[in-house]
Amino acid sequence: MKLFDLSGRRALVTGSSMGIGMALARGLSQAGASLVLNARNAERLEESAQTLRAAGATVDTLPFDVTDAAAARAAIDGYEAQHGAIDILVNNAGMQHRTPLEDFDPEDFDRLMRTNVNSVFYVGQAVARHMITRKRGKIINIASVQTALARPGIAPYTTSKGAVANLTKGMATDWAKYGLNCNAIAPGYFDTPLNAALVADPEFSAWLEKRTPAGRWGRVEELVGACIYLSSDAASFVNGHTLFVDGGITASL
């Protein structure tokens, strides 16, 4: 359908060398978008780009550290000047650190917040400045089921993902008047490298399958439809929304 066609648009996906970011990049390409992949590890990023190119995607790579505001601004400004508009931004880069809150090291807390929250602001602002000039653009921030729910040992992560959802509302409030759509996707429990330890834990997996109405872990490909929707003209009047893709875990006690 034309409403969901992303042909002629360019999408920057942060943290896209693996996991959810890679899956979303692949899905956006299949909907017609050209890609700009981002991660800190340039070698791994190029390997991911080659994989997507082999499947027919048009891919550039833009390695920079999303937790460095100056580096993000310089990379994005330079790319736009040389290659043209970034029409879609997916702020996917993130990290997890599991420790009981009473033992959580302040340096680890700061690092987690820089990665999960500051990066959304740094990259979002750098891209939005160009989108505002053009009076159009789509920003999609990756939140989490922990935006709404807490679990032992990850209080700082829960804090960061709650902040992502509220920053998304703030982006929409400030930038909708310029033609930007700013929304978030909140994945539930997905089988990703970030969750490898949990996936490998039979006790946790059994608990999760019982706790989730769908009765299973999510597959990263099941996030693609939400991302294409929020990137497309079909979501032209959707702003400041966090879309939970979680198998029903936030709907049920």
Which entry of 122, 157, 189, 229 is annotated as an active-site residue?
Answer: 157
CA–CA dist 27, 185 (Å, integer)? 15
157 is catalytic: yes
Amino acid at 49: A
The CA-atom distances, in angstroms, between 10 and each of 31, 79, 221 are 11, 12, 20
Instruction: Give just the sign of the alpha carbon dihedral 62, 5, 91, 39.
Output: negative
CA–CA dist 12, 55 (Å, integer)? 18
Nearest to 210 by CA among 163, 168, 248, 170: 248
Task: Give me 54's structure tokens.
Answer: 């082999």
**Could you give the residue numbers annotated as active site?**
157
